[in-house]
Amino acid sequence: MKYALVTGGSRGIGRAIAIRLAQTGLPVVINYVSNEAAAAETKNEIEQAGGQAELLKFDVSKPEETERALGEWEDSHPDDYIGVLVNNAGIRRDNLMIFMQNSEWHSVVDTTLNGFFYTTRRLLKRMMTRRDGRIINISSLSGLKGLPGQANYSTAKAALIGATKALAQEVAPRRITVNAVAPGFIESDMTKDLNQDELKKLVPAGRFGKADEVAALVAFLAGGDAAYITAQTIGINGGLYS
């Protein structure tokens, strides 16, 4: 059986993606780090709607922990494989660079960029053996245009786009696609501290996006109709560009 794994899948955009993928018929593995209650709530919502979901706790920024968790999952699912991977886990630690602490830089880069590397590398073997896979990396408008106070976040999200393009070319002969989705301002936990009234003035559509709208795009990229789409970065931003 083919599964989908959504890293950072307990809340916000990740939660919406997990629910939407389950609606397509995929059993979903919901990764989380600390908020077990939110992860369990997402799992319960999927199951109440008739879908299948599992929880898998590990910190994507820690290579040994990632290896161990994914290895244990594969050992307990010998006939299954994770064929859809959504690298969604990410954090913000905004600060002007002159004031930015080492920990603020490394925590953001470690989670978004290194987490992509550790998780994707571990799951690629089975995808390549099966000659089937969809890898969808959640980047950001910040990675396309840069935003002040987000040198760490912009760096990690921009590097994720570069990695997407490179990996897509490596695995395309094995019928694996790799794409990035770059949301703009989306209503979620990560944007609740932003001044929406002011920022909406910058968006031609005049509003923040919804997590479900991002999830719909991810579900399309995860499906069979997107088999010839790879190495792309698709913005979902209401018309906001650099």
Distance in angstroms (rounded) separating the CA atoms of residues 152 and 183: 17
pLDDT value at residue 181 = 98
* Residues 59/86, Cβ–Cβ less than 8 Å: no
Catalytic choice (3, 32, 81, 153): 153
The arrangement of secondary structure in 2-236, i.e. its CATH architecture, is: 3-Layer(aba) Sandwich (3.40)
Distance in angstroms (rounded) separating the CA atoms of residues 212 and 181: 13
pTM passes above 0.75: yes
Task: Give me the residues of the chain with pLDDT under 70, please.
Answer: 190-192, 242
Residues 6+ apart with CB under 8 A from 186: 13, 208, 209, 210, 211, 213, 214, 236
Beta bridge partners of 32: 57
pLDDT value at residue 242 = 55
Domain boundaries, the chain: 2-236
Active-site residue, 153 included? yes
Strand ranges inside 174-236, DSSP E = 176-183, 186-187, 209-210, 233-236
pLDDT value at residue 94 = 94
